[in-house]
Structure 1
Amino acid sequence: MSRAAEQAIKASYKALKEDFVSNLTGGDISEINYVTAVAPAAVVLWSALQSRQNFFRPYTPIAFAVDFLLNIGAILLATTLYANTPILLSILLIAPVAIIYSLPKPPTPKKAKVPPKQTKDEAPNPLPKKPFLTTYRGAMLVVTCLAILAVDFRIFPRRFAKVENWGTSLMDVGVGSFVFSAGLVAARPILKEQLAGKTTPLGTRLYQSIRHSIPLLVLGFIRLYSVKGLDYAEHVTEYGVHWNFFFTLGFLPPFVALFQSAFQFIPSYAGLAILLGAAYQIALEFTPLKAFVLIGPRTNLFNKNREGIFSFIGYLAIFLAGQHTGMFILPAHSSSGATGIKQRKSLLLKLAAWSGIWILLFFLTFSYSYGLSLAVSRRLANLPYFLWIAAFNNTQILAFCLVETVFFPQAYKHGHLTRKEEDDVYKGSTSRVLEAFNRNGLAVFLVANLGTGVVNLTVNTLEVGSLGAMGILMGYAVCLTGLAAGLDVYDISIKM
């Protein structure tokens, strides 16, 4: 076969794959909710096993295998073999809980005598690690890492793939959730400043944010040159010709630092996010911006990357919405100083209220009968997309918080525990697998991208049947989990 013929076949296959991984309208929002509800259902079963039978202590190889099957395998099944029946999978996961509670509870091991709970020099931790947040972030990363490879196989439904222009899909909610989650944890340093009564000058904030951005931008350029050099299949309407998700993540910190100054005038990150999202939507509707992004020419560097540049505004609004949520769920105590069940009830009510607010705002922009009739567009990262992501993530966090409240009441008695006791409760209430994914999330996500590339360069994924696809995806999941768990076991945290 001549070189020209080989290149023609390669180009044809690349075009076929681009068409295969793209989607026109995505799926239905309710179906996405059913699929993503599998993760909380799996956590319910995990929590029942741990709280009732203390199954994951000690953490034996069998415990690790069950942890993997529940928190990784269930999500993989929900997006592949059970994609059409996610409710059935959730029922199958929750059903054994009744059996677990009918079994006799194992005897509680005797504890060694410990010193008094609180020493004079040890104050309660104002920003403790919370199991339900680790579970939420870990599950979100698992879904994201599995989907970026699964989408290349026919076993992964096309309606779950990223949409072309308008619509909703599982992968669209995944990329937005990644940014929301990053914003949530970015509230921690701000809260530390407030607790210390300090204010970092704008110049210092910008310098620190740029230092944080450099590794992400480097990763963006590495991905750019690897994709172009290997002639890897890509869809330019996702972010543009050269832009990629790492560039979006890399440019967020400096702009967030600027918006911290605006917080002095509008003391609400949710308010800032809504104003930014609304202003961007007004520009889309009443200027030629929407037409430029969707059908404009690609004549220069700016035009070629218009999707990534302008969608950045929407992702910045999502990040700020995540910060808003982090500001009230990360602290150990409520403003009234209440602890224990009163504080947890207050947190649940606040999460429920904000979930309702975001859902209502989304409904008012999205509804054809009672709202503005605006379509969701991940490509534009427009106002409905931003509100959808904020509503979805607040609701997911509420679900995981409810599970923790029911099964692990000791996890929110922060004011009555020493740091050591608090750490012990955290470990007993958190999946080691999800903790490992959460701890080195960005590093694992980077390796997942590399693994996806390796699989696509070595396997014609479009021709792999269901059995072969599940084998490859399960092997890929095992490798990612092994990496994350290995880093956790050796106490390694890779910060980017």
Structure 2
Amino acid sequence: MSRVAEAAKTASYKSQKEAFVSGLTGGSISEINYVTAVAPVAVVLWSTLQTRQAFFRTYTPLAFAVDFLLNVGAILLATTLYSKTPVLLILLLLAPTVVIRAFPRVDARKKPMPKTNAKPAQTEPLNPLPKKSFLTTYRGTMLAVTCIAILAVDFKIFPRRFAKVENWGTSLMDVGVGSFVFSAGVVAARPILREQLDGKTTRLGMRLYRSIRHSLPLLILGFIRLYTVKGLDYAEHVTEYGVHWNFFFTLGFLPPFLAVFQSAFQYLPSYAGLAMFLGIAYQIALEKTRLKAFILTAPRTDLISQNREGISSFFGYLAIFLIGQSTGLYILPRNISNGTGNQARKRLLLTLGSWSLVWILSFAISISLNYGFNWAVSRRLANLPYILWIAAFNTTQLSIFCLVETIFFPAHHKNLDATRKSEEEAYKTATSRVLEAYNRNGLFIFLVANLLTGLVNMTVPTLFVSNVQATGVLLVYSAVLTSLALGLDMYDISIKM
């Protein structure tokens, strides 16, 4: 084949790939909820195996295989082979749960330990911001879904209705992008809470310095991605973020803006309130000015117009991040009120449930034709309905994971005489090693997932492989990512980015 013919074939395939992910309209929110419900149901089965059979207490290769299949494999199946029948997959996961609960607990066959009224001596004070199993499970699951989707979208086995929507609508990948930002916001509340506990206030200059230092690696990754995509003539979806902008730039610019916004809390002392103020102001600008038309239809004549999607949607993602921080402020501390551990957990569940209801109702009003504003969801704009949808989805997911942990591992929050060591052991008992590993090095694993996605796309004609071959590639890819994450965790390596 001549070089000209080969170049033409390459250009044709690139055009086909770009068309494959362009002009999509998404699917229904109810279907997205069914598909994502597979994750908490898989956690229910995992928790049943752990509480009834102590299956993951000794982490053997078999335990790892089951852990991987439940918490990563089930998500892969839900988005591919079972994409049309997620309820069937949910039932298949629930069936062994019922069977396992019919058997006696493993601990019940052992001789009970003698009871003692002596309280264990506190060797060190308890962590005021302890690790929480349900939060790790939520973040680990979100990362697993995101990593699977960014490669699966290039195969035909991944339904087009799950891929990112062009302009208006909802999809699985749209909620995944927003959830990644929301999740980052939740854990970003930890430094704020530490300052409150220490009674300190960091000056604006120091906050900016720290935020820029944190942002620098992300911005470097953004430029590396930009260079490789352009240099390798990789297929692009320009209307996603723009000609040069990418998701790493969005993540990288968030910390400096947040450092500045923290100064506004003396006037508006609520992260959720500030997020809503920002989201409403942005929505008004979209509706009352030419901003919406500029983003959707303007010619790409200069640097700003070439990257208008990434620049404008940044304000929506900033609002999502702030709502995540607001959520983190009440779920990260040890207790949200005085009282017993059981009372604190009930109050936490009530708070999470109440906020979920607030965001759900706000979202419903924003999109309602008869009783609201009749605005359409747009991930491309990151408009107010999209912000509210992401907030509603993630707070509901957190509520579900918190409820699952509360039911299956009550000792994790009821033990009033816990030491720091026993609390850490309880956390490990209630947490999947796979999801803990994803959560611990989440951003690094996401970077590796992007690199592997590029490698697969450059070596495999993803548009022309069969469903069986696609499933095999995705399974190997998921196993490699999971093994890397688990390996880093086993060697106690945390790569901060």
TM-score by length of 1: 0.97
Give the alignment of 1:210-225 within 5 angstroms: 210-225=212-227
Query: Shift of residue 125 of structure 1?
Result: 1.7
The aligned counterpart of 1:431 is 432
8 Å contact from structure 1 (residues 164, 379) kept in 2: yes
**Counterpart Cα distance in 2 of 1:427 and 1:443:** 22
AA of the residue aligned to 2:474: L
Question: Are 2:473 and 1:475 equivalent residues in the alignment?
Answer: no
The aligned counterpart of 1:410 is 411
The correspondence for 2:328, drawn from 318, 322, 326, is 326
Query: Shift of residue 123 of structure 1?
Result: 2.2
The aligned counterpart of 2:355 is 354
Indicate the SS of the match to 1:430: coil
**Counterpart Cα distance in 2 of 1:181 and 1:167:** 22
AA of the residue aligned to 2:237: H
The aligned counterpart of 2:390 is 389
AA of the residue aligned to 1:450: L
Q: Deviations over 1:8-39 (max 9, x none)?
A: 22111111111112242101000000000000
**Counterpart Cα distance in 2 of 1:13 and 1:227:** 15
The aligned counterpart of 1:105 is 105
The aligned counterpart of 2:378 is 377
Tell me, which stretches of 5 or more residues in structure 2 are unaligned? none
Give the alignment of 1:480-495 within 5 angstroms: 480-495=481-496
User: CA 1:9–1:274 in 2, change beyond 3 Å: closer, same or farther?
Assistant: same
Q: Deviations over 1:296-331 (max 9, x none)?
A: 111111111110001000000000000010000001
Indicate the SS of the match to 2:169: coil
**Counterpart Cα distance in 2 of 1:109 and 1:272:** 56
AA of the residue aligned to 1:12: S
**Aligned pair count?**
495
8 Å contact from structure 1 (residues 376, 384) kept in 2: yes
8 Å contact from structure 1 (residues 167, 376) kept in 2: yes
8 Å contact from structure 2 (residues 43, 71) kept in 1: yes
**Counterpart Cα distance in 2 of 1:228 and 1:131:** 41
Give the alignment of 1:35-434 within 5 angstroms: 35-107=35-107, 108=110, 119=121, 122-335=124-337, 337-413=338-414, 415-434=416-435
AA of the residue aligned to 1:393: N
- Greater shift, 338-347 or 184-193, is seen at 338-347
**Counterpart Cα distance in 2 of 1:486 and 1:144:** 20
User: CA 1:310–1:361 in 2, change beyond 3 Å: closer, same or farther?
Assistant: same
**Counterpart Cα distance in 1 of 2:360 and 2:412:** 28
8 Å contact from structure 1 (residues 318, 390) kept in 2: yes
**Counterpart Cα distance in 2 of 1:398 and 1:105:** 27
**Counterpart Cα distance in 1 of 2:118 and 2:461:** 62
AA of the residue aligned to 1:79: T
Indicate the SS of the match to 1:416: coil
Indicate the SS of the match to 1:327: helix
Query: Shift of residue 339 of structure 1?
Result: 2.8
AA of the residue aligned to 1:230: L
User: CA 1:424–1:166 in 2, change beyond 3 Å: closer, same or farther?
Assistant: same
8 Å contact from structure 2 (residues 182, 320) kept in 1: yes
**Counterpart Cα distance in 2 of 1:117 and 1:236:** 62
Indicate the SS of the match to 2:188: helix
Query: Shift of residue 118 of structure 1?
Result: 5.2
User: CA 1:21–1:417 in 2, change beyond 3 Å: closer, same or farther?
Assistant: same
AA of the residue aligned to 2:397: Q
> Moved runs in structure 1, 4+ residues, more than 6 A?
109-116
Query: Shift of residue 112 of structure 1?
Result: 11
**Counterpart Cα distance in 1 of 2:112 and 2:217:** 48
**Counterpart Cα distance in 1 of 2:49 and 2:451:** 35
Tell me, which stretches of 5 or more residues in structure 1 are unaligned? none
- Greater shift, 314-323 or 54-63, is seen at 54-63
8 Å contact from structure 1 (residues 22, 161) kept in 2: no
8 Å contact from structure 2 (residues 363, 392) kept in 1: yes
- Greater shift, 461-470 or 16-25, is seen at 16-25
TM-score by length of 2: 0.97
AA of the residue aligned to 1:371: G
- Identity score, percent: 71
**Counterpart Cα distance in 2 of 1:35 and 1:205:** 40
**Counterpart Cα distance in 2 of 1:249 and 1:338:** 38
User: CA 1:415–1:190 in 2, change beyond 3 Å: closer, same or farther?
Assistant: farther
User: CA 1:14–1:94 in 2, change beyond 3 Å: closer, same or farther?
Assistant: same
8 Å contact from structure 2 (residues 24, 163) kept in 1: no
**Counterpart Cα distance in 1 of 2:145 and 2:122:** 44
- Greater shift, 14-23 or 359-368, is seen at 14-23
8 Å contact from structure 2 (residues 146, 176) kept in 1: yes
8 Å contact from structure 2 (residues 51, 105) kept in 1: no
8 Å contact from structure 2 (residues 24, 160) kept in 1: no
Q: Deviations over 1:272-297 (max 9, x none)?
A: 00110000000000010000011111
**Counterpart Cα distance in 1 of 2:307 and 2:114:** 62
Q: Deviations over 1:332-356 (max 9, x none)?
A: 1123x12321111100110010000
Q: Deviations over 1:231-257 (max 9, x none)?
A: 110111000000000000000001111
Query: Shift of residue 264 of structure 1?
Result: 1.7
**Counterpart Cα distance in 2 of 1:111 and 1:175:** 48
**Counterpart Cα distance in 2 of 1:476 and 1:387:** 33
8 Å contact from structure 1 (residues 117, 418) kept in 2: no
AA of the residue aligned to 2:381: L
AA of the residue aligned to 2:183: S
Indicate the SS of the match to 1:378: coil
Q: Deviations over 1:367-405 (max 9, x none)?
A: 112110100000000000000000000000001001001
RMSD between aligned residues: 1.6
**Counterpart Cα distance in 1 of 2:344 and 2:176:** 30
- Greater shift, 149-158 or 101-110, is seen at 101-110
Indicate the SS of the match to 1:95: helix
8 Å contact from structure 1 (residues 23, 158) kept in 2: no
**Counterpart Cα distance in 1 of 2:8 and 2:417:** 69
